[in-house]
Structure 1
Amino acid sequence: MTVHMLLGFVMLMLLAMPVGYSLVISGWAALSVFGSMPSSMAVLKIFQPTQSFPLLAIPFFILSGSLMMSGKLGQKLVGMASMLVGKYPGGLGQVSVVGSTVFGGVSGSSVAEASALGSMLIPWQKREGYPGAFGAAVTASSSVIAGLMPPSIALILFATVSNTSIASLFIAGVVPALMLAGGMMLACYITGRRRGFPIIELSYTRREVVQTVLNALPALLMPVFILVLLRAGIATPTEVSIIAVAYALVVSGVFYRDLNGTRIMAALTNTVITTGVVMLIIAAANIIGYILTSGGVPQAVAQWAVEHLKDPLLIILAINLLLLFIGMFLDLPAAILLLGPTLVSIANAIGLDLVQLGIMMCVNLSIGLFTPPIGTTLFVAAAIAREPIGRVVKELVPFYLVALLVLLLVSFVPALIIY
């Protein structure tokens, strides 16, 4: 049954069918046609995981991010980032990284962040004399910080697969996210200085500095607000997501005063579409996970790894190589839900903390988001910049090095993320 499912999935993918539909059809066919399960039971297996209470956090976090990102917030964040780092070599690239870091704490979605920030910052960088391919590379790579900053949708998905605390994953993701941000800012600085990118001279009075920081403060407080509520045990992740929506409504309606019916409808529409895509993959991954578990695949893979690779450090290295390869072809949510059960079994067999495994998976698969041939943020940023993919990939080399260094640190220095 497992072989039939895998063959069906590969064939449908080769026919260019979307991942979610490929998973559902191949899984349903394997259970009802080649297995002994009635079609009605197979359908129940598909829809069962979507009824989980913790998953309610996903649409509410998406809605809160959509409400805040579609108004004046983006302009305020860019203004603050420009004030902080715009005057340094490669400053406009650093503005993108700072903006991505803060936006990551609002949206939780790398693709949404690449689209929203890229449409603002890439044209600006090109007007100031920066190469379009460099602007696309910075946007494509820095946008993946959203996969680690709370309220990361990817970490919520891993928590549902592994029965790990969402709060623990959110807290553990902050340090790697800041390491990525710091490393990418350094890469922008070195590249800008070496290649002589224009330096933007910006002068601010003390009053303007204070006003700019105050304008961006609501967005800066969002991830802090989430972590405090979760860490203190004041609310569950689902409750926090609902509070986040209320917070976004208050900030947009009272602080920025740019909330209207059109923005609310646009945010609701985006939430419904994005949630539908995520839930389809969750439903499909459940039936695939059931087939793999029934066939004993996770346990067999874990046993093989322990018997043949033996050394836990070597097994962790093998996990990273597998995830880097898979991330080049599968989108992040689908890869987490598909590989999660097997990798959790391996982690339990070698004593690897599941929080560390979750961060490793998110960093690995985030690298895949800006890596050919399927990299989503890479294609979004290249399309905005109107640059060939090959040229953007050349500019991405220093950012790949930063991401790989952070990956090695979270994989082999667990003290950085486990408190």
Structure 2
Amino acid sequence: MVTLLFIILLVLFLINVPIAIALGLASVIIFALQGNIPLVTLPQRMFAALDSFPLMAAPFFILAGKLMEHGGISQRIVDFAKSLVGQLKGGLANVSIVSCMIFAALSGSASATTAAVGAILIAAMVKEGYSRPFASAVQAAGGTTGIVIPPSVPMVLYGVSAGVSVSALFIAGILPGLLIGLSLMLTASILSHLRGYGAATTGTSLAQMWRAFKRSFLAMLMPVIILGGIYGGIFTPTEASVVAVVYGFLIGWLVYKQLNLKVLRKILVESVVTSSVILFIIATASLFGMILTREQVPQSVASWFIDSPLSPALILLLINVLLLVVGTFMETIASIIILTPILLPVVTSLGMDPIHFGIIMVVNLSIGLITPPVGVCLFVASQVGKSKYETVVRAVLPFLLMMMINLLVITFIPEISLGLLKFTD
């Protein structure tokens, strides 16, 4: 039955059936053929999968990210980043990545990060002499930090799927996110130097940096409040997501005055659509996971790896390859929901901490955001930057290579992910 399940799923994918519907339809067909479970119980199972307090954080962080995107915060973040690194060789490329890192700590979404910062900086980079495909590629690569630097919607979903602390995942994502961001900046600087992009400018004075910081202070305060509140035990990640929504709304409406009824309507519609898609995938994936559990697929996969003559290091490499391939063809949220129950028993049998594996999975799938054919950040950056998709794909390859190097480092040096957790125990 498991083989038939995957065959049906593959056929549905090939004929472009949406992932959520494909998961649900394939599962219902298998349950109907088995005939040992009343189909009336399946909607109850789907509802139970969504009846989770930690899961509520996902739609609220999505809404908070939309408020950040449309509430006037993006420009202030860009101005502050420009005051920090704009004077370097290839300065605007570095400004783009630093802005993405800061916005990532507000939104928890890669596509929102790419769109919000790219709408400002891609055109500015082109005006300063960068090629349009390179400017779009820098933005796409920088946008991937949106799901690695906390808060992160995929981390919330992994935490729910794996039954681990979302707060611990957020703490574990800080150093990997910084590592990826700094290495992308290094790559952008080297390429800018080799290609003569963005001549270095005169240094920014402390007074200019201070003015930019004051102008962006309320925006920069948001991650301090949200992450500080979580790590300080003041509120849970779910409660933090609600605080983020309220704070983002008040800043965008009362302070920056960028929000009005028309903009709010657009924000709410986009947030509802995005959240509905994610929650529908989770609901139908619960049926898919129910079949895998009944057929003991996770246990069989774990036993195969344990009994195989492969070394733990080689097994981890194979798992990384699998995640990279899956991330290339499947959306991040669906990949986490489907693969976590299968792969988690394997890595825990090897002695890997589930928190560490969660970071590895998120970093893997963030690479999928800039890998064709389903590279979401590539599509967003090419659309915002008005570049041909194939030219952006070619331009992003050096950044893709750097992220794969980062993945190996994060995989085989657990302290990068787990080091900060030792100070919070």
Question: Given the superposition, is the C-alpha separation of residues 121 and 35 from structure 1 closer, same or farther in structure 2, using an over 3 Å criterion?
Answer: farther
Give 1:309 shift: 4.2
Q: Which residue is equivalent to 2:219? A: 219
Question: Given the superposition, is the C-alpha separation of residues 210 and 284 from structure 1 closer, same or farther in structure 2, using an over 3 Å criterion?
Answer: same
Within 2, Cα distance between the matches of 1:299 and 1:217? 50
Within 2, Cα distance between the matches of 1:35 and 1:103? 49
SS of structure 2 residue aligned to 1:52? coil
Within 1, Cα distance between the matches of 2:372 and 2:187? 21
Kindly report which structure 2 residues correspond to 1:274-289, keeping only aligned pairs within 5 A, or say none: 274-289=274-289
SS of structure 2 residue aligned to 1:42? helix
Within 2, Cα distance between the matches of 1:52 and 1:185? 38
Give 1:230 shift: 1.6
SS of structure 2 residue aligned to 1:386? coil
Kindly report which structure 2 residues correspond to 1:231-246, keeping only aligned pairs within 5 A, or say none: 231-246=231-246
Give 1:396 shift: 1.5
Amino acid of the residue matched to residue 350 of structure 2? I
Alignment of 1:49 onto 2:46: no
Q: Which residue is equivalent to 2:383? A: 383
**TM-align CA RMSD:** 1.7
Amino acid of the residue matched to residue 307 of structure 1? D
Amino acid of the residue matched to residue 214 of structure 1? K
SS of structure 2 residue aligned to 1:39? coil
Question: Given the superposition, is the C-alpha separation of residues 342 and 258 from structure 1 closer, same or farther in structure 2, using an over 3 Å criterion?
Answer: same
SS of structure 1 residue aligned to 2:374? coil
Q: Is the 8 A contact 2:67 2:252 kept in 1?
A: yes
Q: Which residue is equivalent to 1:373? A: 373
Give 1:217 shift: 2.3
Alignment of 1:360 onto 2:363: no
Deviations 1:62-82 (A, max 9, x none): 112211220221111111122
My pick for the range that moved more, 210-219 or 339-348, is 210-219
My pick for the range that moved more, 327-336 or 200-209, is 200-209
Within 2, Cα distance between the matches of 1:226 and 1:138? 28
Q: Which residue is equivalent to 1:109? A: 109
Within 1, Cα distance between the matches of 2:28 and 2:275? 22
My pick for the range that moved more, 213-222 or 341-350, is 213-222
Give 1:227 shift: 2.3
Q: Which residue is equivalent to 1:308? A: 308
Question: Given the superposition, is the C-alpha separation of residues 249 and 380 from structure 1 closer, same or farther in structure 2, using an over 3 Å criterion?
Answer: closer
Deviations 1:207-253 (A, max 9, x none): 44322112222332323322221222221111111111122123223
Within 1, Cα distance between the matches of 2:29 and 2:3? 12
Within 2, Cα distance between the matches of 1:155 and 1:228? 17
Q: Is the 8 A contact 1:101 1:181 kept in 2?
A: yes
TM-score (normalised: structure 1): 0.96
Q: Which residue is equivalent to 1:129? A: 129
Within 2, Cα distance between the matches of 1:309 and 1:289? 28
Within 2, Cα distance between the matches of 1:202 and 1:48? 59
Q: Is the 8 A contact 2:69 2:112 kept in 1?
A: no
Within 2, Cα distance between the matches of 1:400 and 1:327? 13
Give 1:206 shift: 4.6
Give 1:323 shift: 0.5
Give 1:178 shift: 0.5
Amino acid of the residue matched to residue 292 of structure 1? L
Unaligned runs of 5+ in 1: none
Within 2, Cα distance between the matches of 1:320 and 1:238? 30
Kindly report which structure 2 residues correspond to 1:44-193, keeping only aligned pairs within 5 A, or say none: 44-193=44-193
Q: Which residue is equivalent to 1:294? A: 294
Give 1:259 shift: 3.1
Amino acid of the residue matched to residue 242 of structure 1? V
Question: Given the superposition, is the C-alpha separation of residues 267 and 394 from structure 1 closer, same or farther in structure 2, using an over 3 Å criterion?
Answer: same
My pick for the range that moved more, 62-71 or 409-418, is 62-71
Within 2, Cα distance between the matches of 1:384 and 1:258? 20
Within 2, Cα distance between the matches of 1:386 and 1:250? 33
Q: Which residue is equivalent to 2:392? A: 392
Give 1:257 shift: 3.2
Give 1:51 shift: 1.5
Give 1:33 shift: 3.3
Give 1:263 shift: 2.6
My pick for the range that moved more, 103-112 or 382-391, is 382-391
Within 1, Cα distance between the matches of 2:28 and 2:158? 23
Alignment of 1:347 onto 2:347: yes
SS of structure 2 residue aligned to 1:33? helix
Give 1:401 shift: 2.2
Within 1, Cα distance between the matches of 2:136 and 2:167? 33
Amino acid of the residue matched to residue 222 of structure 2? M
Question: Given the superposition, is the C-alpha separation of residues 207 and 342 from structure 1 closer, same or farther in structure 2, using an over 3 Å criterion?
Answer: same
SS of structure 2 residue aligned to 1:328? helix
